[in-house]
Structure 1
Amino acid sequence: MQPLILKESIEKLEIEDELKKFMTTHRMTTLEDLLKIKGSELLKMEGFSYRILQSLLAFLHKHDCLHLFEEE
């Protein structure tokens, strides 16, 4: 069972504004949507940066969800 935080609207989450903006631009409404995309693919997407990646990984780590992130 996946953590409930993955299904929360990004508007309710305490994540960086830059990450929210990226997700909104790409029509992602939850972290679950974002985690469907592998890290290597995220880095190729317009507007995604290493700073956003660090922010995402820190948030996932804080909520014990880091293991759900796939690099490749």
Structure 2
Amino acid sequence: MQPPILKESIEKLEIEDELKKFMTIHHMMTLEDLLKIKGFELLKMEGFSYRMLQSLLAFLHKYDCLHLFEEG
């Protein structure tokens, strides 16, 4: 079973505004949506940066979800 935090609206999550904006632009409404994209693909997407990746990884680690992130 997936952790409930993955289905929370990004508006409710304590993630950086820059990451929320990126997700909104790309029609990702939950972390579950974002995690469908592999790390190397995220880094190729316009507007995504290494800083956002670090922020995302720290957030996932905080909620014991880091194992769900796929680098590539």
Deviations 1:11-54 (A, max 9, x none): 00000001000000100000000000000000000000000000
Alignment-mate amino acid for residue 70 of structure 1: E
Matching residue's letter, 1:39: G
Q: Which TM-score applies when normalising by structure 1?
A: 0.99
Q: TM-score, normalised by structure 2?
A: 0.99
Aligned counterpart, 2:63 = 63
Which stretches of structure 1, 4 residues or more, deviate above 6 A after TM superposition? none
- The aligned amino acid for 1:25 is I
Give structure 1 stretches of 5+ with no counterpart. Answer: none
CA distance in 1, matches of 2:51, 2:18: 9
The amino acid of 1:57's aligned partner reads L
Percent identity between matched residues is 89
Gaps of 5+ in 2: none
Aligned residues: 72
